[in-house]
Amino acid sequence: MIVTRSPEQEQFGTSLHDMLAAADVPGAARRWASGDWPDGLALWRKLAGAGVTALAVPERWGGLGASPLDTVVACEELGHHALPGPIAESVAVIPGLIAALADTAVSPALSDALPRLAAGDLIATLALPPWLPYAPDADVAGLVLLAETGTTETHAEAGTAKDAVVWLAEPGARHGSVDRARSLFEVSGREVLARGPAVADAVAHALQAGALASAAQLLGAGRALLAAGVRHAGQRIQFGRPVGAFQAVKHHLADVAIGLEFARPLLDAAAIALAAGDRAAARDTSAAKVACTDAARRAARAALQVHGAIGYTEEHDLHLWLMKVRALAGTWGSQAEHRARIMAELTAPDAPPWS
Amino acid sequence: MNEFRAEVRDWLAAHVPAQPLPTVDTAAGFAAHRGWERELAAARLSVVSWPPEYGGRGASLLDWLVFEEEYYAAAAPVRVGQNGLFLLAPTLFAHGTTEQRDRLLPPMARADEVWAQAWSEPGAGSDLAAIRATAARADGGWLLSGTKTWSTRAAFADRAFGLFRSDPGAERHRGLTYLLFDLRAEGVTVRPIRQLGGGTGFAEIFLDGVFVPDADVVGVPGEGWRIAMSTASHERGLSLRSPGRFTAAAARLVELWRRAGDPADTAMANRVVDAWIGAQAYRRHTFETAARLADGGTLGAESSLGKVFWSELDVALHETALDLLGPLAEVDGLPGADGRWLDGYLFALAGPIYAGTNEIQRTVIAERLLGLPR
C-alpha cells in the first residue's frame, strides 16, 4: 500500500513555509556567511518553537518522536528557504544517533543532549567519513561528534560495515564551502562514546537519515529555484516580450518541473521505508538522494540560465540557493557512491522487491 | 500479497503462451492476439476496472495498477484492443448513452470488435484542431469524407473512432463531432503504412461519403473537441500510463546487467541504476496519483509531466539494454528474454511522438502548470 503525505504533514510544511517566507532568511544567510550568526540562530529558535528540532528526538527525552516523513517535510521547507546551519546533522541525524547509543554511551557530554536538542537549546553536528568528511558548521554547534566505520571497507559498503565507533570530537581546521553560509571543520576524536556492531547499525541508520534529509533540502531548494526562474522569466523583457514566452526557455523550465515532480515520490518512499525499518531503506534513501540531487542541479542550471548575468552576481539572492545545491549535492554520499549502493542492493541475492 | 494480485499472477502463470505470439502487425498475429483477448475475457480479466455488467470486475484504480504490474511482469501479449479499452471506453463511460455502452462495450471487452483510433490527419498532427475531414448531415446520420492517418491498429481492426468537422463555419475547436465508424463500410479504404521496423502498426484511412447513423455519434454534435479532450488525460488512458511496462523492463534490465554487465563499467552500471530509479519514481508517482484520484481528485495538465517522463524513460530503458547486448543488439529474433528488447525499443521510439509530442507537453507544462506567458 502506498502511503502519501497526510493533510497534517502538508499543513506542517505550509506553516513552516509561511513562517520562513515572513522572515528575512536570505538576509540572515548573508550575515551568517560573514560570521554574524544571531539572526540565523533566531530562526533556528523559531523553528524549535514550531517543533522542528524536536521531530527526531524520541518522546522519552522530550521530543516528538515523529516519523522520518515528518522530518523530510521539514527539511524540504528549510531547503526551500536556504536556511543556514547544520540542518541534516542536527535535526535529522544526531537525535537518532544519540538515542540509539543511549544504553551504551554514558558520558556527561551526552547526558542532557537530547532534551536540549529537542528544545532548540543545542545545535549539534558530526563528521562521518568518507561520506561526510568534515563536520559542517561546527563553529555554531555545542556538540560535535565523529562517527567512524571500519577502515577497510569501500565507500559503497560503508553503510553495512559491521564495526563502528562514535567519538566525542574536537573541531580543528576550518575550510570554507562553496556555499559561504556553511563552514567545514576537520575533527579529531577526543573520547570514545560507543563502539561495536550495535554502533555500526546506528551509524548505518545515521547515514540513511543524513542522505534523506539532505535529499529533502535539495528538493526544496530545487523548488525555490524553479519558482525563481519562472518569476524572472515572466518579468524580464527582451525583444519586446517576456523571455518566458520563448519556447526554449519554457522547455528548460518544464524539464525542471518534471525532474522535481518525479523525485519527490522517491523521497517520500525512502522516508516510509526508513520508518518501517524496511530492508529496502538503504536502496530507497540512495535513490532519493540521487534523484533529488539531479533534479535540484537541473533546477539550478536552468534558474541561472534564465536569469542571465544578474543571476551570476552576489547582489542577487539566487546564488544562495545555487551554491547550497552545489554543496549538498556531494554531501552525505556522492552520486557515484549512492548509485553504487543501489546497484549492490539490486543485484544482491536477497534483493528487496519494489517498495 | 493481496488476493486479487495472487489470482492474476496465478492465472497468467498458467495461461501466458510460452512462445511469444506472432506480431500483431500481421493478419495471423492479429487473430492470435484476438484469441488471447478472448481468453482474458473468459476469465473476466480483460477489463478489470469496468463494471461487472460490461465484463469487468469494478476494480479500483489501485487494483487496475496491480493487474497491469502483473500483466507486464508475466510478459503477456500486447493488448490488441488497447485503443478501444484505454481511449474510447473512458469516453463512452463519460459521454456515451446507455444504449451505446450496452451495444459497444461487451464486444470490445471480448475483442469481438477491435477499435482503431482515427485522430491524426496529414495536416493535423500535433495541431490536432486543424482537422479537415468532414461529417456532412444526411438522412438519419452523417456522411464522412477525408483522410485520417497514423491510425494505430487500423490495418486489421474492425471499427474506428475519431473527430470530424461537422460545422465548417465554426471556430476551429468548435464544430467538431466525435464519431464511430466501421472500417469495412462502403466508402472506406484502409492503406497500411509500413513503420520503421517493417511492421504495419498503423494505416491511412480514406473516407468517401461513409454513412454513420446518429446512434454512433458520441455526445452532442459539435462538442467533439471537448469530449475528446475531457478523456485525453483520463486516469486509465495514456496519460496515467500504467507503470507495469517500465517496472517489468527495469527488472529485466537488472537481470541482463547481472548476466552480461562488466562490473568495471561504472558508466553503464549508472545507466542501469538510473533506469531503475526512473521506473521506481514513475511507479510511486502513479500510485500516489491513483490514491489521490480515489479520494476524488482530478487529473489535468499535470498529466503532461508524466507523459514526457515515461516516454523518455522507456527509450532510455531500452537503449541501455541494447547497449548492454552490444553486437547482439541488432540481431532480429534473439532467443528468450533478450529477443524482446529490440521490439520494445522500436515501440518506445514512438512514445515521445504520439499522444501529443513531448514538445507540445512541455509547452503545456510551462504555460498551464508554471504559468509562463503564452
Give CA–CA dist A111/A58, Å, rounded. Answer: 15
User: Within a domain: residue B234?
Assistant: no
Least confident of B35-39, B181-185, B350-354: B350-354
- The enclosing domain of B164 has a CATH number of 2.40.110.10
CA distance A57 to A32: 26
Average pLDDT for A329-340: 96
Q: Is residue B110 part of a domain?
A: no
pLDDT tens, B137-147? 999 999 999 99
pLDDT band of residue A296 (cuts 50, 70, 90) is very high
* Domain shared by B320 and B353, yes or no: yes
B211 and B313 assigned to the same domain: no
Q: Is B309 on the interface with A (CB under 8 A)?
A: yes
Residues B158 and B225 in one domain: yes
pLDDT classification of B234: cutoffs 50, 70, 90: low
Residue A28 φ/ψ region, left for φ over 0, alpha for ψ in the -120 to 50 degree band, beta for the rest: alpha
pLDDT for the residue A286:
98
Of the partner residues A254, A255, A269, the one whose CB lies closest to the CB of residue B284: A269
Nearest CA to A113 out of A129, A97, A128, A127 is that of A97
Task: Out of 3.40.50.150, 1.20.120.1200, 1.10.10.10, 1.20.140.10, select the CATH number for domain A202-346.
Answer: 1.20.140.10
Confidence category of residue A163, pLDDT binned at 50, 70, 90? confident
| A14 vs A155, more confident | A14
The answer to which of A64-68, B331-335, B346-350 has the lowest mean pLDDT is: B331-335
**pLDDT tens track for A261-270:** 999 999 999 9
Contact B269 A343 (CB under 8 A): yes
Q: Supply φ then ψ for residue B212, to 5 degrees.
A: -125, 125
Residues B208 and B277 in one domain: no
Q: Tell me, what's the pLDDT at B232?
A: 67
Put simply, the answer to whether B374 touches A269 (Cβ < 8 Å) is: no
A247 inside 8 A of chain B by CB: yes
Residue B86 within a domain: no
For residue B210, pLDDT over 80 is answered with: yes
Residues with Cβ within 8 Å of residue A32, at least 6 apart in sequence: A39, A40, A84, A85, A181
| B284 shares its domain with B331 | yes
Mean pLDDT of A197-216: 95
> Does one domain contain both B223 and B249?
no
Q: Which residues of B touch A268 (CB under 8 A)?
A: 284, 288
For chain A, the domains span 202-346
Is B287 in Cβ contact with A2 (below 8 Å)?
yes
The SS3 call for residue B94 is: helix
Same domain membership, residue B123 and residue B76: no
User: Residue B237 — very low, low, confident or very high, per pLDDT cuts 50/70/90?
Assistant: very low
A-to-B residue pairs, Cβ atoms closer than 8 angstroms: 115
Of B37, B68, B121, B235, the active-site residue reads B235
pLDDT tens for residues B8-35? Answer: 999 999 999 998 899 898 899 999 999 9
What is the 8-class DSSP label of residue A90? Answer: I
Q: pLDDT per residue over B150-196, tens digit each?
A: 999 999 999 999 999 999 898 888 999 999 999 999 999 999 999 99
For chain B, what is the mean pLDDT? 93
Is B192 in the same domain as B268?
A: no
Q: How far apart are CA B340 and CA B318, in angstroms?
A: 10
Q: What are phi and psi of A124, to 5 degrees?
A: -130, 155
CB contact under 8 A, B372 and A261: no
Of chain B, the percentage scoring pLDDT greater than 70 comes to: 97
Q: Is B235 a catalytic residue?
A: yes
Provide the residue range defining the domain that includes B360: 244-369
Do residues A226 and A351 lie in contact, with contact meaning Cβ atoms separated by under 8 Å? no
Interface probe for B, chosen from A226, A243, A347 (most Cβ of B below 10 Å), is A347
> Chain A closest CA to B363's CA: distance in Å?
6
Number of domains observed in the structure of chain B:
3
- Give yes or no for a contact between B32 and B26, defined as CB atoms under 8 angstroms apart: no
SS3 A269: helix
Please state at what angle helix A281-307 crosses helix A197-235, rounded to 10 degrees: 20
pLDDT band at A88 (very low <50, low <70, confident <90, very high): very high
- Do B258 and B204 lie in one domain? The reply is no
**A336, closest residue in chain B (CA to CA):** B270
> B169, B203, B229: which is the final residue of a domain?
B229
User: Does any domain span residue B288?
Assistant: yes
Q: What is the DSSP string of B345-363?
A: HHHHHHTTTSSS-HHHHHH
% residues pLDDT > 90 (chain A): 88
Query: Is residue B236 predicted with pLDDT exceeding 50?
Result: no
Q: Is residue B165 part of a domain?
A: yes
Q: Which of B229, B259, B277 is the last residue in one of the domains?
A: B229
Hey, are the CB atoms on B309 and A262 less than 8 Å from each other? Answer: yes
Last residue of a domain, one of B206, B229, B252: B229
